[in-house]
Amino acid sequence: MPETLLKVENLQAWYGESHILHGVGFEIGRGELVTLLGRNGAGKTTTLKSVMGIVEKRTGSVRFEDREIIGRASDEIARMGIAYCPEERGVFSSLNVEENLLLPPVVKPGGMSLAEIYGLFPNLEERRRSQGTKLSGGEQQMLAIGRILRTGAGLLLLDEPTEGLAPVIVQRIGEIIRQLKGRGFTILLVEQNFHFAATVADRHYVMEDGRVVDMVTSADVQQNIGKLQAYLGV
């Protein structure tokens, strides 16, 4: 495995009184594309939100580029170079497409230019003056991904980017995610769609009841297909 970029150990998290994560551990090397798989409610989204600092109550250790970030506020974590694309996409309705794209501030050099992002998502350029939420679901997803590529963040947290999209759009998003990996982005992807995840990722962590219970590399997926299907209940 390449040099470790993100290392999560014994991560626990709470929403109010409910204890959601019970000691999550995994790591990602620089340039890797890793997925978190698991059923609904296994704690995948909460794990992303905890890494990002959005879940208020969390303990354990999250190290990014060898620095502990568990106690930091989410704006600080973002400025260290982690970018987040939420499951609900979070496209702002009071901003047009271009304002949405330009919203996240550049935190480090080396991010993509607006022209490069429009090159990746030509639809967005055509609709740059449209209200963000007037776009189709697929376009909104592309906007939500495109928006975090400008900032220079090296680690992207993508929460279910294929959810609710037509197969042809899912395929397009798969191509884009592969291209992003090719450009050197490190990606942590949360997915329900295992078939999609298997086509893009290097490794898969399986979550159950707020813990990581297994890890399978993409090369070993075929041998372990029965076990994975049991985990995911598909």
Query: What is the Cα–Cα distance from 158 to 167, expressed in whole angstroms?
Result: 18
221 belongs to the binding site for other proteins (CB under 8 A): no
C-beta closer to other proteins: residue 84 or 231: 84
Backbone angles phi, psi at 143, to 5 degrees: -65, -45
99 belongs to the binding site for other proteins (CB under 8 A): yes
Query: What is the Cα–Cα distance from 97 to 102, expressed in whole angstroms?
Result: 9
Min. distance of Cβ 142 from other proteins in angstroms? 17
CB 73 within 8 Å of CB 53: yes
103 belongs to the binding site for other proteins (CB under 8 A): yes
Considering only CA atoms, give the Rg of the chain.
17
C-beta closer to other proteins: residue 79 or 211: 79
C-beta closer to other proteins: residue 13 or 148: 148
Interacting positions 143-172 with other proteins (CB under 8 A): 148, 151
134 HSE (CA, 13 A, CB side): 12
234 belongs to the binding site for other proteins (CB under 8 A): no
CB 160 within 8 Å of CB 168: no
For binding to other proteins (CB under 8 A), which residues are involved?
A: 52-54, 73-75, 77-79, 83-84, 86, 90, 92-95, 99, 102-105, 107, 148, 151
